[in-house]
Structure 1
Amino acid sequence: MKKLLLSLFTLLLAGVLTACSSGEDATETEDTADNSSATEEDGAAEGTEEESGEGNGGFLWKVESGDTEMYLQGTIHLGNDDFYPLDPAIEEAFDSADVVLPEFNLLEETPSQQEVLEYATYEDDSTLEEELPEDTYAELASIFEENGLDLESMNEFQPWFVEMMLLELVTMTSDVDSQAAVDLYFLEKATEDGKEIVSLESAEEQFEILSGYSMETQIQTLELAVDGYDEAGEEMEELADAWLKGDIESMESMSAGYDEAGINDEYMEELNDKRNMDMANSLDEILQEDSGQVYFVFVGTAHFTVDPSIITELEEKGYDVEHVY
């Protein structure tokens, strides 16, 4: 159950971790983009003999409507330079696209620090210490102290935001991070190639989901994150490895058994179910327009593997969704 929350956040929310990352600046983002491009060029030169189905990543589907083609790529909101380039099937699908559709454009739509703070802080005089159970607060304070941080300085922040900070601390102990995420890789390539970018959601919508959870749900998910902190770095690497191998069964198992965690139903309804239905409706509208263009959709993998998923929603609308790789 501890692994569940880690998997869901890194497979469902595109920009929250990136926007909440502390100590990141524009220079680092630019360096990541340069490194990704260089790695891609090197990988292309070294991997010219690599066949589709033998490279990094997976989770690629395709749906057609008339003269319109749409690729559906499940991503992970983490990565490192060794991820790229991805499998030829994925790279070719991306290259063929006229329009790309991310959850939202992280390069242009990430909220400012002030906007994030407005979502993250309490609207009244409540404090984190008052809201959390005493033992959870003490354990969290110990984790922060280990990382040179003072939890008391975080008392004005809601549990969901502190959980995001905890997840960022986990990435610092692993060999993957949010600044080399697969989403950013595609967005940087799309920008460089001059492709049209159309967001399926907005950054504000994702922050509103997290900040809109009841306090009970926020506390429950933060408690799970605190309980699983010691194993989280290793589990994050396992998650990344499963994504790189295109291991659907492993990815699904990491998100299985949610009900056993005892978290309020609103958690998955808001984080996954409603969003998948809304995104599937948006994709349905595009497919019905039948513009004759090629579209490349890239959203967190769980949106395609956790029911009700985008794929099951499209299938219910009558589309034949093919698993490419």
Structure 2
Amino acid sequence: MKKLIWLILLLGILVIAGCTDTEPEEQENVESEEEVTEEVDSEGEEIDEGIAEEEDEEVTGDRPEGFLWKVEEGPTKVYMLGTIHIAPDNFFPMSEHVEQAYEESDVVVPEIDMNNVNMGEMMSIMTELGQYSDGTTLKDHVSQETYEQIEDSFQGSLYTMDMLNQFKPWLVTNLLEQMRIQELGYTDGVDMHFLNKAEEDEKEVIALETVEDQLGVFAGISDDYQVEMLEETLAAQDQYEEELNKMLDLYSQGDKEALLDMLIVEGEESDPEAEAYLKALNDDRNYNMTEQIKEFLESGEEKTYFVIVGALHLTLEPHIGSILEENGFEVERIQE
């Protein structure tokens, strides 16, 4: 049995994060920036020197390892980095070999290029897939106990119960996770770190998926299973910070086996609906993304690609690396 609440952070439905940023948090960030500006104005060079010292401290010591692989075919090279979609402020830069792989690359290849997503289109698809259109509401689909837990969890947030009542359980689950992540002070993850660098460095970006591809994963989830995911997320709120920090530590260490062990609950029977969901979230997408990576490798072009996809796409069988190996490619992990 998989721990469902961590799958999106490691498998990556990137558009969810783009759709669910909350205004109160953004306002707090703006106010914080204004405070920093006033402090700099009042204390001048002393503050600048302090900031410089902090930045120096941030890049010392062991840097996050992550999960990096390399595949070569003729003059074409593909680096593949398994990512995590949230991170603390001091997470970057990553280890030297990861940052060097990015520097070598001509093309950056994310799941989705979030810097160039049509937000109107994304919200339209989110509305189509995430809201009830049959006259029912969230309250009709969950127990009274679960409904009250939702109300308690979102109390004081941007989201009123009138608004949440329109949403299907899968969307409420994702809103809740994003809210908790913001409360803990985490920022954009590894994907956005390199996408923003690519934009600054004017590197070419080729996305492996579309908004429709990613949000379409939710279209086939049964209502009962959506409720199960929501209930699991609500039940895990007290352990959220501890578990999230553990996951970040394992990612930083590049410990593939320990990360997979964290997601597997031993001794529980397989749930057919959970397995079907995981197949759509991981397996099917892996085969589709691998086809595009194969096209890069077989192009005969003297180019280096830097693929950035959720970590489980490169660690949970059948993953992109194992599918490439099945097709005759040699996949080498790069570690310090």
Q: TM-score, normalised by structure 2?
A: 0.84
Paired with 1:262 and 1:133, the residues of 2 have a C-alpha distance of 21
Paired with 1:143 and 1:169, the residues of 2 have a C-alpha distance of 10
- Partner letter of residue 108 of structure 2? V
Paired with 1:155 and 1:235, the residues of 2 have a C-alpha distance of 29
- Partner letter of residue 111 of structure 2? E
Q: Deviations over 1:188-213 (max 9, x none)?
A: 00011111000000122111212442
Paired with 2:174 and 2:118, the residues of 1 have a C-alpha distance of 15
SS across alignment from 1:216: helix
| In the alignment, structure 1 residue 262 sits paired with structure 2 residue 271 | yes
Quickly say closer, same or farther: Cα 1:279–1:72, change in 2 above 3 A.
Answer: same
Q: 1:171 aligns with which of 177, 181, 184?
A: 181
1:174/1:234 contact within 8 Å kept: no
> Structure 2: which 5+ residue stretches go unaligned?
34-47
1:15/1:110 contact within 8 Å kept: no
1:174/1:236 contact within 8 Å kept: no
Paired with 2:178 and 2:272, the residues of 1 have a C-alpha distance of 22
> Structure 1: which 5+ residue stretches go unaligned?
33-37
| In the alignment, structure 1 residue 19 sits paired with structure 2 residue 19 | yes
Partner of 1:274: 284
Q: 2:245 aligns with which of 213, 220, 237?
A: 237
Quote how far apart the aligned CAs of 1:249 are.
2.1
Partner of 2:72: 64
Quickly say closer, same or farther: Cα 1:155–1:317, change in 2 above 3 A.
Answer: same
Paired with 1:322 and 1:134, the residues of 2 have a C-alpha distance of 51
- Partner letter of residue 306 of structure 1? L
| In the alignment, structure 1 residue 246 sits paired with structure 2 residue 246 | no
Quickly say closer, same or farther: Cα 1:110–1:312, change in 2 above 3 A.
Answer: farther
Quickly say closer, same or farther: Cα 1:45–1:153, change in 2 above 3 A.
Answer: closer
Quickly say closer, same or farther: Cα 1:260–1:43, change in 2 above 3 A.
Answer: farther
1:140/1:226 contact within 8 Å kept: yes
Quote how far apart the aligned CAs of 1:42 are.
8.0
Quickly say closer, same or farther: Cα 1:285–1:121, change in 2 above 3 A.
Answer: same
Pairing of 1:116-135 with structure 2 (within 5 A): 116-135=126-145
Count of residue pairs the alignment pairs up:
312
Q: Deviations over 1:25-84 (max 9, x none)?
A: 69969x99xxxxx9xx9899679997xxx4223200001111111000000000122011
1:104/1:200 contact within 8 Å kept: yes
Partner of 2:5: 6
Q: TM-score, normalised by structure 1?
A: 0.86
Paired with 1:147 and 1:167, the residues of 2 have a C-alpha distance of 13
Which structure has the bigger radius of gyration? 2
Paired with 2:53 and 2:219, the residues of 1 have a C-alpha distance of 42
Paired with 1:272 and 1:300, the residues of 2 have a C-alpha distance of 10
1:255/1:306 contact within 8 Å kept: no
Paired with 1:49 and 1:145, the residues of 2 have a C-alpha distance of 40
2:84/2:310 contact within 8 Å kept: yes
1:20/1:116 contact within 8 Å kept: no
| In the alignment, structure 1 residue 161 sits paired with structure 2 residue 157 | no
Quote how far apart the aligned CAs of 1:109 are.
1.2
Paired with 1:247 and 1:317, the residues of 2 have a C-alpha distance of 26
Quote how far apart the aligned CAs of 1:93 are.
0.3
Quote how far apart the aligned CAs of 1:256 are.
2.3
SS across alignment from 2:77: strand
Paired with 1:253 and 1:267, the residues of 2 have a C-alpha distance of 19
Partner of 1:90: 98
SS across alignment from 2:66: coil
Quote how far apart the aligned CAs of 1:175 are.
4.2
Quickly say closer, same or farther: Cα 1:238–1:18, change in 2 above 3 A.
Answer: farther
Paired with 1:80 and 1:49, the residues of 2 have a C-alpha distance of 15
Quickly say closer, same or farther: Cα 1:148–1:96, change in 2 above 3 A.
Answer: closer
Q: 2:233 aligns with which of 205, 217, 225?
A: 225
- Partner letter of residue 63 of structure 1? V
1:100/1:196 contact within 8 Å kept: yes
Paired with 1:283 and 1:8, the residues of 2 have a C-alpha distance of 23
SS across alignment from 1:145: coil
Q: Percent identity?
A: 32
- Partner letter of residue 19 of structure 2? A
SS across alignment from 1:122: coil
1:284/1:314 contact within 8 Å kept: yes
Paired with 1:48 and 1:150, the residues of 2 have a C-alpha distance of 41
Quickly say closer, same or farther: Cα 1:146–1:27, change in 2 above 3 A.
Answer: closer
Please, which moves more after superposition, 285-294 or 41-50? 41-50
Quickly say closer, same or farther: Cα 1:154–1:286, change in 2 above 3 A.
Answer: same
SS across alignment from 2:298: helix
Quickly say closer, same or farther: Cα 1:18–1:245, change in 2 above 3 A.
Answer: farther
Paired with 1:26 and 1:190, the residues of 2 have a C-alpha distance of 27
- Partner letter of residue 230 of structure 1? D
